[in-house]
Amino acid sequence: MPDNEQKEQPRRRQARGERRIAQLLDAAATVFTTTGYTAASTNAIAREAGVSPGTLYQFFPNKEAIAIELGGRLVHEMQTAYGEALAPVDPATPLEEAVGAAVDRFIAFNCRHPVFFALMHGPDIPGRLTEEHDALHVALVGRVEGLLSSILPEAPVADIKRTAQMVLGIYMAGLELVLAHEGAERDAYIREVKTALTRYLDPLLGDRLGRPGLTTTP
Amino acid sequence: MPDNEQKEQPRRRQARGERRIAQLLDAAATVFTTTGYTAASTNAIAREAGVSPGTLYQFFPNKEAIAIELGGRLVHEMQTAYGEALAPVDPATPLEEAVGAAVDRFIAFNCRHPVFFALMHGPDIPGRLTEEHDALHVALVGRVEGLLSSILPEAPVADIKRTAQMVLGIYMAGLELVLAHEGAERDAYIREVKTALTRYLDPLLGDRLGRPGLTTTP
Amino acid sequence: MPDNEQKEQPRRRQARGERRIAQLLDAAATVFTTTGYTAASTNAIAREAGVSPGTLYQFFPNKEAIAIELGGRLVHEMQTAYGEALAPVDPATPLEEAVGAAVDRFIAFNCRHPVFFALMHGPDIPGRLTEEHDALHVALVGRVEGLLSSILPEAPVADIKRTAQMVLGIYMAGLELVLAHEGAERDAYIREVKTALTRYLDPLLGDRLGRPGLTTTP
Amino acid sequence: MPDNEQKEQPRRRQARGERRIAQLLDAAATVFTTTGYTAASTNAIAREAGVSPGTLYQFFPNKEAIAIELGGRLVHEMQTAYGEALAPVDPATPLEEAVGAAVDRFIAFNCRHPVFFALMHGPDIPGRLTEEHDALHVALVGRVEGLLSSILPEAPVADIKRTAQMVLGIYMAGLELVLAHEGAERDAYIREVKTALTRYLDPLLGDRLGRPGLTTTP
DNA sequence: GATGAATGAGGATTCATTCAT
DNA sequence: TATGAATGAATCCTCATTCAT
């Protein structure tokens, strides 16, 4: 079994590393959530993780790399654990129901991972998106585009893209409000997000019934 | 002439002070817009204004105070120069038209004062709003609330508040997209913002025609 | 002269600054001499100068800038206070005498400013000269070239350059030995430097007497 | 077979160890050459060698030890492979020829082992020579002393030492210039080094012909 | 012997803010 | 008022070295 040993040794070694990485990402999530991405410091993350700054830099070359990895894991978990929220929808499903289910899942996801919001609002200067912000954003917009395409296969790509951006924007705006409230008020905001999205999207689906549908570029 | 002197000295001083303040606020607007609020440094603002750091602190106790004052002036200008955008609407005006006009005015305002966006997205941590962010936000939400109230005088305050927050959120989300694009694409996004807001608000006005209207808290 | 082109107005304010700059350069000279350029830290320089790190950075953007300024001042002082050491030589002067006088002056200068040596041996990687090293070096080589040209006006530039580099190299090598010893031994090394340079240069002057002179590129 | 095993185990271990050491020293040579001794990091050396930092420290207690061992091996190789360059010279050989041959060999050696230069210019602070620098330096000076003694057996030791230091210094200064150039220019510098050394040493040999010879301490 | 995680002091540099002039 | 020097804690990041496995 020396073969086995040789194979497992690195694994074990990496095991500790993997644990540290997870630990550091958890700490980063906490700090990003608490202070925001820009104001977060790598030392604070290391402190939160209970390790020295040097240890952090053994696994991540800089702050952005942490955010990117964190974003990547969020997207991955979203796909695996919340995949249905973004799965193509049965065209027979009423829009209200589909939107409601999707929003519920997303809200649940974002409440479990509040860092998502902090990452989406990275060092925000409109037009100058940084990588990790972009990565997350692009990934999400991509999924929404896919969803919309599955419903409106004949719509022009440019329109789909725009609509997806708007949908994501409306959702994020609503999410901010949802996260800023609690209890019944939070629930009320969740309902508002669903309402806003449903109303925004409803007319687009018109063509399925012979109605005009998506506003197109002139 | 001592009387004269006493009167004129303060005036001159205030005049110079006002000029300095305006100069500093202009510089701050530039820096906030360029680097974002969090990353902006007071030294950079002073440099941009062509004065020394000490001078800056003669007029503002700290960085946040600059943002607050800047936000205040933005709100003030909005009221005076763009007041109609937030003025109570003639109930007879079609919603689409009213929203379209308001959005056009706001977009124009925000393009002339891009710092508005930077201030609204200050050190953004949901739930932990800082003063100046809050001030701007509260002011704007207040105006939107007023507008909605003028249209729906019977709606519960809580619902009005919620709707106003949503409206502002949707607008800001759209604004980010508008600012991130140019030319025809920008125009397309402006249209989308109008569409989204119109669709979101349209059903609320139903009671004026006997339709259900605002979703209310259960 | 170290100042940029823009500022001519503030004069007196800079008085304190000038003092600080001198103080910082003195401290830098001490630290560079003690630890060498590469190992010297800006914090150590600030500490040696009795100021905070921030103060140092008010006057110098980074470590290299300190070295460059220091080098510039050294060259300047060399020109003004030790100018004769590099002044064109009366062709009638016996070489031995001329070299002896020049070396004596240089040694005196370098003993008064031991940092000169540290700067000349900056972050030494042959081929990869850094700016401040280069600046000092180039300045000195230029002077030696001038000296040689004044003696051998007909020699090809390439040969003059090469000879100047060698002369400077031999001098610096000797200087290291001189600085590493004291008393009589130091004096003996000074004599050796003179001897080495005289012997190296003597044949070059042959053409003045009809002898072959400088070895030329084939 | 236990006997055999006992014998072979150490051998293998030593063999492996030697391989590791050679590997590490090669890596160190590369890094020292690239970044200079002071700026070189043990982690970088380990990385270059493809091993972990821990492994490096299993063979060397610290960075300086690596330099010392590297210097030792260089000296050793110089003795074995380039020994003739430092072998006592047949007094009948013309100086020019002897110096030319020696310089050629040394230059060849230094071009094959560019780390030599980096080590000789270690954390250079005149007067405060560190061990490994000293070791290399002392070894080389010793050999040059031997050479000179073989030619001038009656010269005082102090004079021999001084001359040897000067010879080494001139050579190192020339080497720097040689390494900093390429092609024809490099060749020209090689010629200059030979010239400088020949001219410096030539008068010393005078006593062999009844001429004064070495300048002595008064 | 080998690994790679861990350390923590120290590196350069910045920044909000204060103070003497 | 205005200046610009001064601060010192905090920033990101590196490095020689050690330690558990």
Per-residue DSSP letters for D130-183? -HHHHHHHHHHHHHHHHHHHHH-TTS-HHHHHHHHHHHHHHHHHHHHHHHT--H
Residues B110 and B213 in one domain: yes
Neighbours of B91 (CB within 10 A): 11
Q: How many residues does chain A have?
A: 218
Show the tokens assigned to B56: 């800056």
Q: Is the pLDDT of residue C32 over 60?
A: yes
All residues at 6 or more sequence positions from B216 whose CB lies less than 8 Å from its CB, including other chains: B155, B156, B159
The nearest CA of chain B is from the CA of A87 a distance in Å of 24
Domain-embedded: residue C2: no
How many Å apart are CA C113 and CA C107, to the nearest integer?
A: 10
**pLDDT, tens digit, 9 for 90 and up, residues B151-209:** 787 889 999 999 999 999 999 999 999 999 999 999 999 999 999 999 999 988 765 54
DSSP classification of residue D93: S
How many Å apart are CA D2 and CA D190, to the nearest integer?
A: 59
Q: For A183 and E16, how far is CA from C1' in angstroms?
A: 39
Integer angstrom CA distances of residue B23 from A23, B13, B16, B30, B59? 47, 15, 10, 11, 11
pLDDT digits (tens), chain A, 218 positions: 344 444 444 445 567 788 999 999 999 999 999 998 988 999 999 999 999 999 999 999 999 999 999 999 998 998 887 666 666 667 677 888 888 998 999 999 999 999 999 998 876 665 555 666 678 888 889 989 988 888 788 889 999 999 999 999 999 999 999 999 999 999 999 999 999 999 999 988 765 544 454 544 44
Residues A138 and A198 in one domain: yes
Residue pair B57/B64 in contact by the 8 Å Cβ criterion: no
Q: Is the pLDDT of residue D145 over 80?
A: yes
Residue pair A164/A145 in contact by the 8 Å Cβ criterion: yes
How many Å apart are CA B181 and CA A127, to the nearest integer?
A: 8
Chains B and A make contact, 3+ CB pairs within 8 Å: yes
Show the tokens assigned to D99: 């110096």
All residues at 6 or more sequence positions from C122 whose CB lies less than 8 Å from its CB, including other chains: C37, C38, C67, C129, C130, C132, C133
Residue B39, CB half-sphere, CA atoms under 13 Å: how many? Answer: 14
- Using an 8 Å CB-CB cutoff, list chain C residues near D182: none
Q: For A75 and F18, how far is CA from C1' in angstroms?
A: 38
- Burial of B98 from C-beta contacts in 10 A (0-12 / 13-18 / 19+): buried
Show the tokens assigned to D56: 């490096």
Greater model confidence, C87 or A204: A204
DSSP classification of residue A121: T
What's the confidence (pLDDT) of residue D177?
Answer: 95
The alpha carbon dihedral of D134, D137, D138, D139 has a sign of positive
DSSP classification of residue B39: T
What's the confidence (pLDDT) of residue A6?
Answer: 41
Domain-embedded: residue D215: no
Name the residue among D110, D116, D111, D132 with its Cα closest to residue D32: D116
Domain-embedded: residue C1: no
Residues D47 and D103 in one domain: no
How many Å apart are CA D216 and CA D141, to the nearest integer?
A: 19
Q: Is the pLDDT of residue C209 over 60?
A: no
- pTM value is 0.84
What's the confidence (pLDDT) of residue C217?
Answer: 45
Greater model confidence, A16 or B59: B59
Residue pair A197/A164 in contact by the 8 Å Cβ criterion: no
Amino acid at A166: M
Residues A124 and A200 in one domain: yes
CATH code (residue B90) = 1.10.357.10
Residues C33 and C75 in one domain: no
Residues C83 and C35 in one domain: no
Integer angstrom CA distances of residue B115 from A121, B31, B112, C35, C166? 17, 9, 9, 49, 61
DSSP classification of residue D42: H
**Range of weakest confidence among A180-194, C83-97, D17-31, D71-85:** C83-97
How many Å apart are CA B160 and CA D173, to the nearest integer?
A: 84
What's the confidence (pLDDT) of residue C188?
Answer: 97
Residues C56 and C142 in one domain: no
CATH code (residue D27) = 1.10.10.60
Number of H helices, E strands in chain B: 9, 0
Query: How would residue B5 be classed by pLDDT, with cut points 50, 70 and 90?
Result: very low
What's the confidence (pLDDT) of residue D8?
Answer: 47
Show the tokens assigned to B153: 């005088």
DSSP classification of residue B205: G
Instruction: Among D60, D75, D98, give the residue marking a domain's end.
Output: D60
Residues B140 and B152 in one domain: yes
Q: How far apart are the first and last CA of chain C?
A: 44
Angle between helices A2-35 and A42-49 (to 10 degrees): 120
Residue pair B161/B145 in contact by the 8 Å Cβ criterion: yes
Of D34, D176, D200, the CB nearest to C196: D200
Domain-embedded: residue C204: yes
DSSP classification of residue B30: H
**pLDDT, tens digit, 9 for 90 and up, residues B114-161:** 999 999 887 666 555 566 667 888 888 998 898 888 878 788 999 999
Q: Within chain D, where are the H helices?
A: 2-35, 42-49, 53-59, 63-81, 95-112, 115-120, 131-151, 157-179, 183-201
Residue pair D163/D148 in contact by the 8 Å Cβ criterion: yes
Residue pair A110/A177 in contact by the 8 Å Cβ criterion: no
Show the tokens assigned to B204: 């609320």
- Using an 8 Å CB-CB cutoff, list chain A residues near B176: 126, 169
Q: Given the structure tokens 């140019």, which residue do they identify? A: B182
Residues D136 and D194 in one domain: yes
- Computed over every residue of chain B, the mean pLDDT equals 83
CB contact under 8 A, B172 and A172: no
Integer angstrom CA distances of residue C179 from C29, C114, C119, D166? 16, 8, 15, 13
Greater model confidence, A133 or C106: C106
Instruction: Among B10, B30, B60, give the residue marking a domain's end.
Output: B60
Q: Is the pLDDT of residue C14 over 70?
A: no
Residue pair C28/C40 in contact by the 8 Å Cβ criterion: yes
What's the confidence (pLDDT) of residue A64?
Answer: 92
Name the residue among A100, A94, A204 with its Cα closest to residue A160: A204
- Using an 8 Å CB-CB cutoff, list chain A residues near B185: 162
- Burial of C5 from C-beta contacts in 10 A (0-12 / 13-18 / 19+): exposed
Domain-embedded: residue C155: yes
- Using an 8 Å CB-CB cutoff, list chain D residues near C193: 166
Four-CA torsion D142, D145, D146, D147, nearest 10 degrees? 130
DSSP classification of residue A51: S
Instruction: Among D60, D76, D100, give the residue marking a domain's end.
Output: D60
Q: Is the pLDDT of residue C208 over 80?
A: no
Domain, as residue range, for C146: 67-209
How many Å apart are CA C61 and CA C4, to the nearest integer?
A: 14
Query: How would residue C50 be classed by pLDDT, with cut points 50, 70 and 90?
Result: very high
What's the confidence (pLDDT) of residue C116?
Answer: 93
How many Å apart are CA C169 and CA C189, to the nearest integer?
A: 15
* Mean pLDDT of all residues in D115-130: 75
- Using an 8 Å CB-CB cutoff, list chain D residues near C202: 199
Residues B48 and B153 in one domain: no
How many Å apart are CA C32 and CA C34, to the nearest integer?
A: 5
Domain-embedded: residue D119: yes
Name the residue among A141, A143, A120 with its Cα closest to residue A132: A120
* Exposure string for B131-155, b = 16+ CB within 10 A, e = fewer: ebbebbbebbbebbbebbeebbeeb
The radius of gyration computed from the CA coordinates of chain B, to the nearest angstrom, equals 21
Residues B53 and B99 in one domain: no
Q: Given the structure tokens 């001794």, which residue do they identify? A: D37
All residues at 6 or more sequence positions from D187 whose CB lies less than 8 Å from its CB, including other chains: none
Residue pair D162/C173 in contact by the 8 Å Cβ criterion: no
Four-CA torsion D74, D75, D77, D78, nearest 10 degrees? 110
Which residue gives the smallest C-alpha to C1' distance to E8?
A52
Show the tokens assigned to B25: 């606020």
How many Å apart are CA A156 and CA B152, to the nearest integer?
A: 38
Q: Is the pLDDT of residue C78 over 90?
A: no
Amino acid at A211: R
Residue pair A186/A178 in contact by the 8 Å Cβ criterion: yes
Q: For C177 and F17, how far is CA from C1' in angstroms?
A: 35
Chains that touch B (3 or more CB pairs under 8 A): A
Q: For D64 and E3, how far is CA from C1' in angstroms?
A: 23
Amino acid at B183: G
Residues C111 and C189 in one domain: yes
Which of A116, A125, A144, A160 should be substituted to probe chain B, the one whose Cβ sees the most B Cβ atoms within 10 Å?
A125
Chains D and B make contact, 3+ CB pairs within 8 Å: no
**pLDDT, tens digit, 9 for 90 and up, residues C120-170:** 887 666 555 566 667 888 889 998 998 888 878 888 999 999 999 999 999
* Mean pLDDT of all residues in C39-43: 94
Q: How far apart are the first and last CA of chain D?
A: 72
Domain count, chain A: 2
Tell me which nucleotides of strand E come within 7 A of a protein CB.
1-20
How many Å apart are CA D24 and CA D113, to the nearest integer?
A: 15
How many Å apart are CA B157 and CA B165, to the nearest integer?
A: 12
What's the confidence (pLDDT) of residue A148?
Answer: 87
Domain-embedded: residue D56: yes
What's the confidence (pLDDT) of residue C135?
Answer: 81
Q: Please enumerate residues of C whose Cβ is less than 8 A from a Cβ of D.
A: 33-36, 38-39, 114, 117-118, 121, 123-127, 158, 162-163, 165-166, 169-170, 172-174, 176-177, 179-180, 184-185, 188-189, 191-193, 195-196, 199-200, 202-203, 215, 217
**pLDDT, tens digit, 9 for 90 and up, residues D61-106:** 999 999 999 999 998 998 887 666 666 667 677 888 889 998 999 9
Q: Given the structure tokens 């003694």, which residue do they identify? A: D149
Domain-embedded: residue D216: no
Amino acid at D192: E
Integer angstrom CA distances of residue D109 from D74, D103, D136? 9, 10, 15
